[in-house]
Amino acid sequence: MKKHILIVALFLINALSFAQTGIIRGTLTDKQSEKPLAAATIELIGESSITDTTSGNGTFLLSNVPIGRQSVRVSFLGYESITVPDIDVTSGKDVIIAIALTESFNTLQEVVISGGNNKAKTVNKMAAVSARQFSTEEVNRYAGGRSDVARLASNFAGVSTADDSRNDIVIRGNSPSGLLWRLEGIPIPSPNHFSTLGTTGSPVSALNPNLLANSDFITSAFPAEYGNAIGGVFDLGLRKGNSSDYEYTVGVAAFPGLEAMAEGPLGKKGGSFLAAGRYGIIGPLGFAGSTAQPNYSDFSFNVDFGKGKLGNVSVFGILGTSNIDLIGKDVELDGDDLFATRDTDEFVTSGFSAFGAKHTIDVGSNSVLKTVVGYSSSTNTSEEDRYYNLDTPQESKIHFAKGKSTESRFTFSTLLNSKISNKLTFRTGILLEFFSLNTNLWDRDRQADRDGDGYPDYVNLLDTDGSYSILQPYAMAQYRLSEKLTLNAGLHGQYFSLNEQAVLEPRAALTYAINNANSLSFGYGLHHQNVAAPLLFLNENVDGNLLQTNKNLDLVRSQHYVLGYDTRFADKWRAKVEVYYQAVDKAAVERAPTSYSSLTEGADFGFSIDKTSLISKGTGFNQGIEFTLEKFFSRGYNVLFTSSLFDSKYKGSDNIERDSPFNNGYVINALGGKEFKIGKAKKNVFSINGKFTTAGGRHYTPVDLNASIAEGYEIRDDLKAYSEQYDSYFRLDIKFAVKLNSSKKKSSHSFYVDFQNVTNNSNVFTKSYNRVTQQVNQIDQIGFQPDFGYRYQF
């Protein structure tokens, strides 16, 4: 097999050794007002003859651009000129970029920012601390990423994943459920296949990274426009399709699966369309970590109708479906399957959708009004059959559990951005979400046998058909106090209709530029988030009546403090240090003294089903220091090193301070890549990328074996909650890729092989009770696993 792959690669390199040129096109805007800038100069560095001047609507076009990595210089009188490096030009697809310039403090002065990199800054100009911009190119470049945006984020400082089987994001010791997903300015449910109500991650992402524009990832002290989150923010934007030419992409990869994408111009007003569909294939390949075969597919689109007298209108959407049948008798007796158990058959389906219409219109000469109307839904169904007296003459099968949950939301968002002057920018808006929740869960798990039939009773734990709303107004401003000192400040409000609680949250960040290469920053933010819906709507049997005794729980509150230092100590090099502290209170805990807290939930497919009559008296804290060393891609290579030392603790109603399950203690990532130009014309590329990750093991509560045997289901020792820790995590990934540009037509081929966990290290997945063997088994995560992908663009 390896020999055949090598022969094919060498043949393609020979056949495509002469490369043609490519195209860079895009738009230029004022970063503060978000209006287009006309008559600015766009110049290809190293090729002074390749230049353009932006049109009245801020568009530009650079043609006959040599294939390979290129850099563009952008300059305009009265604005800070910038260089946009690391633009990957190919023969198969036009490169479309969006650039924003900041007006210089002294209006008539043109300031050149030398050695800078626009990726060091965020798309959202108000995000000044604990924030980072990322690109689709990074998602596809790094080793071990599986074309998953969430897994890309695990490379950043302060971030870890719960385990290899899921893409949950643990940010600075917070539960993954503290994350806010946003798409085109509105909140959306977990954009993942096999996702469940209240969670933010899953085994497979439904987000197609090839449709994403450069987006922001924020880990603390968020700007005032973000709310109902205490952990972090993924603020995603969709790119527009090519408005000048039709382009197509087809491909296949292990985890994204089969893919087809099309884009091109639409109408006569500069509009475009972009659409892509994917179908998963990891089941037949045996990469699922389970004997079962997962099935999933997704479709995404973004249609821009261009700019007219009434502004710009676009519609966008993502639709994903998935299902899996977990058959217990296909599982080995020792229970080494990541998702299935020997004595259970489970049948799962899930669906995710998010659709929206976006309208943008100029208001006066320096203001823009953006309005988005959206609808999203998340649906999950599961049915479970359980075998008793398995593999004996007395074997019997009963219907053990059945559940269905559907969360729908209608969203309205409007935002007014105004540039008051070159020193002051003001932004205000409102976000309104109407939730409709329909849940039903019947389950025998942890139930008594009151009817005497020899089996746990079949009890209705969730039965909800209701609605609630969340209202979030906000206002914020960015004020440049001087050339070196910038203040971002704002106020966010939140009203949660279920408990009729209203809160006000101040946010602020201050940045001081010591010089062009060094800066200090400080940020503060007060943040609230409602307890996850599966806990809020849990039924409790009170005197024969099923009551939802958690509905009036307070919003969980978290205060974030951040201090950072950023330095660009050499060309294309950047180092950053951040120290943070987060104080959390009003978490949900039990009335009786126990170790339970809602802060420990959110890193699995479900939530606790026996936690009722909770009260909002839990507390916790996260503190740590993070270091990032990054060499942005230039001279054929890139480097990213991140390290985090942190402590995450919580208190349940027993008032005992404990490690949280997300308190790994440390996370270290080292990534690097090198590109080599190949072929006679040196326009094709062979690249090698590597990733090394190590982290402290997750804390867990040991199984009480005797109690588990007596009850027939797993019981953890509450007195020793999260007192033990798994062995440290270690993983090394190496990725090889080839990119071939056609010499005869507009097309390119790319191929990669990604060897994940090349040392086949046995990282612990869990230690759990096996009902069949009545033992505690250790289940390890997936060992060595190859990933591959091929893409043809034309």
Q: What backbone phi and psi angles, to 5 degrees, belong to 140?
A: -85, -20
- C-alpha distance from residue 681 to each of 13, 663, 743 (Å): 11, 51, 10
- Give per-residue pLDDT as tens, 414-472: 999 999 999 999 999 999 999 999 999 999 998 989 999 989 999 998 888 889 999 99
Give kind and range of the element (H or E) at residue 236. strand 232-236
Q: How many CB atoms lie within 10 A of CB 655?
A: 11
Q: How many CB atoms lie within 10 A of CB 706?
A: 9
Q: Once rounded to an integer, what is the mean pLDDT over residues 367-385?
A: 96
- C-alpha distance from residue 413 to each of 180, 307, 356, 416 (Å): 16, 20, 11, 10
Please report how many Cα atoms fall inside a 13 Å half-sphere around the Cα of residue 590, on the Cβ side. Answer: 12
Q: Are 748 and 684 in contact (CB under 8 A)?
A: no
**Distance in angstroms (rounded) separating the CA atoms of residues 296 and 322:** 4
Please report how many Cα atoms fall inside a 13 Å half-sphere around the Cα of residue 739, on the Cβ side. Answer: 22
Question: Hey, what are 741's tokens?
Answer: 């540009």
Q: Sorting pLDDT into bands at 50, 70 and 90, what band is 333?
A: low
Q: Sorting pLDDT into bands at 50, 70 and 90, what band is 162?
A: low
Q: Are 53 and 75 in contact (CB under 8 A)?
A: no
Tokens 């990595």 belong to residue: 69
**Distance in angstroms (rounded) separating the CA atoms of residues 349 and 201:** 16
Q: Are 25 and 13 in contact (CB under 8 A)?
A: no
Question: Hey, what are 374's tokens?
Answer: 């959206």
- Give per-residue pLDDT as tens, 80-137: 888 888 888 998 899 999 999 988 887 554 444 443 445 668 999 999 999 999 888 8
Residue 1 has a pLDDT of 44
Q: Once rounded to an integer, what is the mean pLDDT over residues 703-711?
A: 93
Give kind and range of the element (H or E) at residue 319. strand 311-326
Residue 755 has a pLDDT of 96
- Give per-residue pLDDT as tens, 41-74: 999 998 889 999 999 889 999 999 999 889 899 9
Q: Sorting pLDDT into bands at 50, 70 and 90, what band is 609?
A: confident
Q: What residues contact 3, with CB distance under 8 A and at least 6 apart? A: none
Please report how many Cα atoms fall inside a 13 Å half-sphere around the Cα of residue 698, on the Cβ side. Answer: 21
- C-alpha distance from residue 108 to each of 80, 422, 423 (Å): 11, 11, 14
Q: How many CB atoms lie within 10 A of CB 284?
A: 9
Residue 336 has a pLDDT of 67
Q: Look at residue 127 and give its three-state secondary structure.
A: coil
Please report how many Cα atoms fall inside a 13 Å half-sphere around the Cα of residue 70, on the Cβ side. Answer: 28
Q: What residues contact 458, with CB distance under 8 A and at least 6 apart? A: 399, 442, 443, 444, 447
Residue 118 has a pLDDT of 57
What percentage of the chain exceeds 90 in pLDDT? 71
Residue 530 has a pLDDT of 97
Q: What share of the chain is helix, strand, coil (3-state, %, to 5)?
A: 5, 55, 35
Q: For the residues of 59-102, what is the DSSP string, one character each?
A: EEEEEEEPSEEEEEEEE-TTBEEEEEEEEEE-SSS-EEEEEEEP
Question: Hey, what are 49's tokens?
Answer: 């003859």
Q: Are 277 and 257 in contact (CB under 8 A)?
A: no
Q: Sorting pLDDT into bands at 50, 70 and 90, what band is 340?
A: confident
- Listed range (143-152, 266-275, 667-676) with the worst mean pLDDT: 143-152
Q: Sorting pLDDT into bands at 50, 70 and 90, what band is 274?
A: very high
Q: Once rounded to an integer, what is the mean pLDDT over residues 681-694?
A: 93
Distance of CA 577 to the CA centre of its chain: 22
Q: What is the largest CA-CA distance in the chain?
A: 90
Residue 14 has a pLDDT of 44
> DSSP label at 238?
B
User: Do the strands 22-30 and 192-193 form a parallel or antiparallel pair, or are they unpaired?
Assistant: unpaired
Using only C-alpha atoms, the chain has a radius of gyration, in whole angstroms, of 27
Q: For the residues of 524-566, what is the DSSP string, one character each?
A: EEEEEEPPPHHHHT-EEEETTEEEETTTTPPPEEEEEEEEEEE
Residue 772 has a pLDDT of 85
User: Do the strands 111-112 and 80-89 form a parallel or antiparallel pair, or are they unpaired?
Assistant: parallel
Q: Where are the alpha helices (DSSP H) in 417-479?
A: none
**Distance in angstroms (rounded) separating the CA atoms of residues 310 and 145:** 41
**Distance in angstroms (rounded) separating the CA atoms of residues 344 and 715:** 18
Residues pairing with 647 in the sheet: 623
> Looking at 389-516, which runs of residues are DSSP E strands?
396-419, 424-443, 459-480, 485-496, 501-513
- Listed range (83-92, 335-344, 407-416) with the worst mean pLDDT: 335-344
Measured between its terminal Cα atoms, the distance across the chain in Å is 27
Please report how many Cα atoms fall inside a 13 Å half-sphere around the Cα of residue 608, on the Cβ side. Answer: 21
- Give per-residue pLDDT as tens, 516-566: 899 999 999 999 999 999 999 988 888 888 889 999 999 999 999 999 999
Residue 604 has a pLDDT of 81
Q: Sorting pLDDT into bands at 50, 70 and 90, what band is 283?
A: confident
Q: Look at residue 139 and give its three-state secondary structure.
A: helix
User: Do the strands 666-678 and 637-651 form a parallel or antiparallel pair, or are they unpaired?
Assistant: antiparallel
Average pLDDT over the chain, rounded to whole?
91
Residue 638 has a pLDDT of 94
Residue 12 has a pLDDT of 43
Residue 724 has a pLDDT of 95
Question: Hey, what are 184's tokens?
Answer: 């085109």
Q: Angle at CA 769, nearest 5°, toward 768 and 770?
A: 115
Residue 289 has a pLDDT of 64
Q: Once rounded to an integer, what is the mean pLDDT over residues 612-635?
A: 95
Say whether pTM exceeds 0.75. Answer: yes
Residue 20 has a pLDDT of 72
Residues pairing with 496 in the sheet: 470, 501
Highest-pLDDT range among 293-297, 458-462, 590-594, 631-635: 590-594
Question: Hey, what are 610's tokens?
Answer: 């026996």
> Looking at 115-174, which runs of residues are DSSP E strands?
131-134, 159-161, 169-171
Q: Once rounded to an integer, what is the mean pLDDT over residues 767-793?
A: 90
* The pLDDT of residue 571 is above 80: yes
- Give per-residue pLDDT as tens, 736-755: 999 999 887 889 999 999 99
**Distance in angstroms (rounded) separating the CA atoms of residues 209 and 239:** 10
Question: Hey, what are 566's tokens?
Answer: 């950023």
CA dihedral 172, 174, 176, 182 (to 10 degrees): -70
Burial class (CB in 10 A: 0-12, 13-18, 19+), 98: middle
Q: Are 471 and 454 in contact (CB under 8 A)?
A: no
* The pLDDT of residue 498 is above 90: yes
Q: Sorting pLDDT into bands at 50, 70 and 90, what band is 639?
A: very high
- Nearest Cα residue to 87 out of 36, 40, 137, 121: 137
Residues pairing with 69 in the sheet: 88
* The pLDDT of residue 650 is above 90: yes
Q: Are 262 and 246 in contact (CB under 8 A)?
A: yes
